[in-house]
Amino acid sequence: MTGGPLAGLTVVEMTGHRAGPFCGALLADLGAEVVKIERPGVGDPARSQGIGPEGKSGYFMANNRNKRSVTLDLKTEAGVEAARDLLGTADVFVENFGYGVTEKLGIGYEAVRQDNPDIVYASIKGYGETGPLREKPGLDLILQAEGGIMSVTGPEGGEPVKVGQAIGDLTTGMFAAIGILARLVERGRLDGDSPTHDDGDERAEGDRDGVDTEDDRDGVDASDAGGATGFTGKFDVGLYDSIVTLLNEYLVEHSMDGSVPAPQGTSHQTLVPYGRFETADGALVTGVPSDDRWGAFVDLLGREELREYPTNRDRREHAGTVDRIVEEALTEESTAYWLEALTEAGFPCGPINDVADVVDYEQTRARELVVPHEDPDWGECLLPGHPINFPDHEFAIHRPAPELGEHTEAVFAEVADDQTTLEEWTEGGAFGE
């Protein structure tokens, strides 16, 4: 963004793979200053997964553009102290460590809150921070299966399959971003001209001559740490939570009649017709969203026998017959013919595009959903744009995905009280070798 609605917001993230980085990328795209803390010599595992230059795959680039990267070794006292000082002046912290890891490292919520009572602390986990599975590790595939979304995905009558993209990771990243914005509004920081802290230096001060013990850091009483307002900035979201939420009306209907839906291909759980239909030279997807449009749909297809099913209830009871007649009609003309005819008649429809088609699609270009990018380590490539269109802000990738630790010196030179502190952190192994 040029400026962007989150300009002035400072975010520190300590995340890897996709859910946490995607959350940070959304905030960075909207103008927030996002600093990514990575482990020295290793970094985000996504750096080495997939196509791309060494240490910076396309997978990593998509979810880490517009960020700065620093390295910290949190197994050293100097590293913990540097992290705490950095977090002491931040608005938001995003982490997706395993359950209880941040507390062991000395950067758990109560420890960070001691320095920065106003911080918004977003914790992303496989199963969240409560419940019997909270300590269990999770991957998107596992959570798609366990959370039920696989059970309704796949060809009708076939075996369950995962959604083609990591829907649990991406959805959790979005939910985390929503949670952050909700906490910021609650905190009242977005109501002013700038959401940044103007008292960060005072909050970052205190008993920081040395590194506190783990007991001292994590034994803070929540009511005391919140200051006069009692603000609690911590929240957590799990991939399991996100995927179960995506089941939506399936959960309600199950409670009503005990139904347990199975994979249904491209068909809809309530609407008929709705799905993929063959044409004379390919296929398309279409559907009829309401009964009052059914007559016009029958007129367009020219199949009078469809008038026997005027309501969606009728069509659901005879779904096989209705779908067969609709497809017979559509196979009489080309995909292009039907897309134009259906669109002109006001019926939802579309081609079945692959990735290459989407990149070249006129709507993609018009909305700048895929943008050209010049990466210093790869050269010309494309990156995803931002899905929210703000008419008063122009989207821009103002910073390529960073090399590991690229901004360590610059960031901590700003954080350190003086050059001596920076040198002590360096000598103490805070930034790795």
Of 286, 278, 287, the residue nearest 329 (C-alpha):
278
Q: What is the pLDDT of residue 229?
A: 56
Residues of the chain with CATH 3.30.1540.10: 274-353
Classified by CATH at the fold level, domain 274-353 comes out as: formyl-coa transferase, domain 3 (3.30.1540)
Residues of the chain with CATH 3.40.50.10540: 10-244+368-427
Percentage with pLDDT > 70 across the chain: 90
Model pLDDT for residues 58-116, shown as the tens digit of each residue: 999 999 999 999 999 999 999 999 999 999 999 999 999 999 999 999 999 999 999 99
Q: Would you tell me which CATH number, out of the four given (3.40.50.10540, 1.10.1740.10, 2.102.10.10, 3.40.50.10490), belongs to the domain 10-244+368-427?
A: 3.40.50.10540
Q: What is the pLDDT of residue 88?
A: 96
Judge whether 169 counts as a catalytic residue: yes
Of 4, 46, 358, the residue nearest 173 (C-alpha):
46
Model pLDDT for residues 139-180, shown as the tens digit of each residue: 999 999 999 999 999 999 999 999 999 999 999 999 999 999
Active-site hit among 169, 212, 236, 375: 169
Q: Please answer whether residues 350 and 362 qualify as being in contact, where contact means their C-beta atoms are separated by less than 8 angstroms.
A: no
Place of tokens 């905030």: 27
